[in-house]
Structure 1
Amino acid sequence: MPTCRLSASSARRLAAAMAMLVSASALAQDSVAPENARDRTAAEGEAALDRLERAAAARKKEAEVRGPTALPTPSEETRRRTFEGLRNRAPSSAMDARARAALDKGKDALAAEREAMAHRLGQALGLEAPDMEAVAGVAAPPTTKGWVPVLFVSSSMPVTTLRTYAGQLERVGGVLAFRGMPGGLTKVAPMAKLSAEILRHDPGCEGPACAMRDVQLIVDPLIFRQHGVSRVPALAMVPGDPALPYCEREDDSPRASHVIYGDAALSGLLEEYARLGGKKEVSDAQARLQGR
């Protein structure tokens, strides 16, 4: 079947017609798209204005319900009248007396609390005799109780060494004696911290609930002077109670017959004390240390 071919003039007319159709479609799109975009923009703007108006109305209503949040600034006349009223007020002797009485009562209560705390802290550090009747409900034990092992130590010694001595002294009812407190006698906190580190059963425990060793710890420069202790550690078997406060201690109070120096275990110090003639003094401590 023969193929029909368009003539040149027909082809030109067909191309022109198609171009006209494409141009008309583009014009139609150009004329519709901007109008639709303007409509959408206008609609969104109106919606935003409506939301803004509603938010402003809600804020205004909330402010009316809540009331003013700032105090009004008083006028000069109001300020003048206020200060004149304060200056011209009638004094009340009863009110002044009540205020002074309350102040004095607060000062007395604070002073009593400080005194009680200082008393308890002094008992804990061995600076004052404990109130056995109030604490334990029994009479205080007699001061003469044989010979007590007193180990003279210093805060400059390693804490591990002090902890080891504390564990050994707990078994024999001994005493750890310090010449002074770290930082001086006016600073109690460092000594309290060191005492807790020495006496805790668990060195990693923190707080007041930690279990402590039953060892007396004293700060007593006089007992160092009485026994002529010049270096530490040193051991002395002191007759009586070495933890008595200064006011209850006699100048000629009994002293140990020997002082043993050396960085050794408590058992070795007791053996050396016995070798020098103090076998009777250390017999009880040796028996407790060996578990008999």
Structure 2
Amino acid sequence: MLALALIGVAPGQAREAQSADEGTSAMERLREAKASAPSAAHAGPDAIPTPSPALKRRAFEAMRKRQVDPRMEAQARAAQIEAASALAAEQQAMSARLHQTLGMAPPDGAPSPEPAASSTPAKAWVPLLFASSSMPIETLWTYAGQLERVGGVIAFRGVPGGLTKIGPMAELTARMLRVDPGCEGPACTMRGVQVVIDPILFRQHGIARVPALAMVPGDPTQPYCEREDETAPRAAHLVLGDAALSGLLNEYARLGGKEEVRDASARLAGR
């Protein structure tokens, strides 16, 4: 009976030992597979492998050996010039229609008023008046007349109500630039003063109050992509206060900008 009992127990113990060995072996294989597997950041079907130095070298050599087709280059340049010309013509036509609709330009067939001639060199110091639509229209109209004589520019931070409400801003600009404030309609003569809406100019000069006068180098109406650097133009001084343009120029000269205002002061005085 003892022998039979020993024979019956031995097979179960053997199976348990075998199962334990197999479990340990499986865990070891799992740890090894996990250690050798790529990290999660580089795993997946859309993973981009890191190129070897030799692969990088071959890629750059292939790029250097790439041959340029002169005909394709010429066609690309011609297409670029044609697209730029078409865009400029379309923008000019849209601007003309907008000005005519808002009464800022004569109707089709009517003689256009001659724009005011400007003798300001491209690199001269330009009077830039920071203004707001909240200023009285009489004040804006007076500044426009004074700035026309010196080739100045009027800048607004933005459009009241957002760009979707450009109509009131255009109407304000038309009233501000009419030579005769009582004139109505598209045949009114406009002053040769440029008006820009440029929040970047306000931020660059730290404008918190208006009116404010700055003398900027170059053309403040030039698009940013065409300027010499992304921070230009910028004034060295800033004059605040609701005063005549002559007084603002005198104060600017007192702050150290005598050279910047010399030309504008002379033209304003009629010299």
Q: Do both proteins adopt the same fold according to a TM-score greater than 0.5, normalized to the shorter chain?
A: yes
Give the TM-score, by structure 2 length: 0.56
Q: Deviations over 1:173-214 (max 9, x none)?
A: 100110011221122211110011000011121111101111
Partner of 1:38: none
2:56 corresponding residue in structure 1: none
Residue 256 in structure 1 maps to residue 235 in structure 2:
yes
TM-score, normalising length from structure 1? 0.52
Give structure 1 regions of 4+ aligned residues with deviation exceeding 4 angstroms. 113-124
Distance across 1 between alignment mates of 2:170 and 2:244:
25
How far off is 1:253 after superposition?
A: 1.7
In structure 2, runs of 5+ residues without a counterpart are: 1-88, 101-113
Give the distance between the partners of 1:146 and 1:256, measured in 2 at CA. Answer: 12
Partner amino acid, structure 2, of 1:185: L
Considering fraction of residues, name the structure with more helix: 1
Q: How big is the shift at 1:119?
A: 5.0
Q: Which has the larger radius of gyration?
A: 1
Task: Please state whether the residue corresponding to 1:287 is helix, strand or coil.
Answer: helix
Structure 1 counterpart of 2:146, which letter?
Answer: Q
- Pick from 171, 177, 200 the counterpart of residue 178 of structure 2: 200
CA distance in 1, matches of 2:153, 2:231: 21
Tell me which amino acid in the other structure corresponds to 2:215. M
Change in CA separation of 1:147 and 1:116 when aligned onto 2, cut-off 3 Å: closer
Compared CA separation, residues 178 and 284, structure 1 to 2 (3 A): same
Q: Does 1:233 align with 2:211?
A: yes
Tell me the residue number matched to 1:275: 254
Q: Which residue of 2 aligns with 1:177?
A: 155
For 1:158 and 1:167, locate their aligned partners in 2 and report how far apart those are by CA, in whole Å: 15
- Does the Cα contact within 8 Å between 1:183 and 1:190 map onto a contact in 2? no
Q: 1-side partners of 2:161 and 2:180: how far apart? A: 26
Match of 2:269 in 1: 290
Change (3 A) 1:142 1:157: closer
Q: 1:238 to 1:122 in 2, by over 3 A?
A: farther
Distance change in 2, residues 1:288/1:231 (3 Å): same
Structure 1: gaps spanning 5 or more residues:
1-112, 125-135
In structure 2, the partner of 1:188 is 166
**Are 2:224 and 2:230, in contact at CA under 8 Å, matched by a contact in 1?**
no
Aligned residues: percent identity? Answer: 66
Q: Map 1:34-73; keep pairs closer than 5 Å.
A: none
RMSD between aligned alpha carbons? Answer: 2.8
Counterpart CA distance in 1 for 2:265 and 2:90 is 42
- Count of aligned positions: 166
Q: Does 1:265 align with 2:253?
A: no
Please name the residue that 1:42 is paired with: none
Q: Distance in 2 between matches of 1:122 and 1:180?
A: 19
**Match in the other structure for 1:150:** 128
With over 3 angstroms needed to count, the CA separation of the structure-2 counterparts of 1:235 and 1:214, relative to structure 1, is same
After superposition, give the CA deviation of every residue in 1:9-65 in whole Å (9 maximum; x if it has no partner): xxxxxxxxxxxxxxxxxxxxxxxxxxxxxxxxxxxxxxxxxxxxxxxxxxxxxxxxx
Give the letter for the 1:276 counterpart.
L
Q: Where does residue 58 of structure 2 map in the other structure?
A: none
